[in-house]
Amino acid sequence: MQNYKEKLSKLDNDHSNELISNGSKEHAQALLYQFLDKAKESVNITSKSLSIYNDYTIVDALNTALNNGVKIKVLLDNYQNNKITNNIFLDRCLHSENCTIKTYDKPLKSHIITRDDRAFRYCDNPGSNIAVASFNSPDVVKNATETVFGAFFDKQPEYTT
């Protein structure tokens, strides 16, 4: 696992456009940590349950991002069928002006996370452990930002507890 974290850090520092596999829970958490810890402007997240975010290491990185003024957008899909309880990531977001959480009642066909204007993680089938990521793919991030985190995101209802 340490080798994977070191690889992520190197690829991030090098602004590499290498496409990397990111399917396991541990690999996903390592990437999420890297995204949040190194974010400068924004992190956008689609998720069904935020289950892999419910981790103190991830929340520490979230705190770093929020303390640096990073804007966080979270879109929770299939929300009516999947209420979230006891999630430290969600609780921290709810107490920050820099974090906006919205809900979407239907399941999304894919999940994506973006950081700033270059990095992404994409999972084509949210029920699987198959995902890819890159630290330097501005076209993918621009498309996701315009398609999911722009007007579509703005139209969705705010998360309520």
All structural domains of the chain, each given as residue ranges with its CATH number in brackets, are 2-155 (3.30.870.10)
Contact 142, 117 (CB under 8 A): yes
pLDDT band at residue 81 under the 50/70/90 scheme? low
100 or 107: which leads in pLDDT = 100
143 — alpha (psi -120 to 50), left (phi > 0) or beta? Answer: alpha
Q: What is the pLDDT of residues 12-66, one digit of tens each?
A: 999 999 999 998 889 999 999 999 999 999 999 999 889 999 999 999 999 999 9
Least confident of 2-6, 17-21, 23-27, 118-122: 23-27
Write down how long the chain is.
161
**DSSP code of residue 110:** -
Burial (0-12, 13-18, 19+ Cβ within 10 Å), 86? exposed
β-pairing, 42-47 with 71-77? parallel
**DSSP code of residue 126:** T
Report the predicted TM-score, pTM, of the whole model to 2 decimal places.
Answer: 0.94
Region 127-142 average pLDDT? 92
pLDDT of residue 129: 74
Contact 6, 115 (CB under 8 A): no
CA atoms within 13 A on the CB side of 71: 7
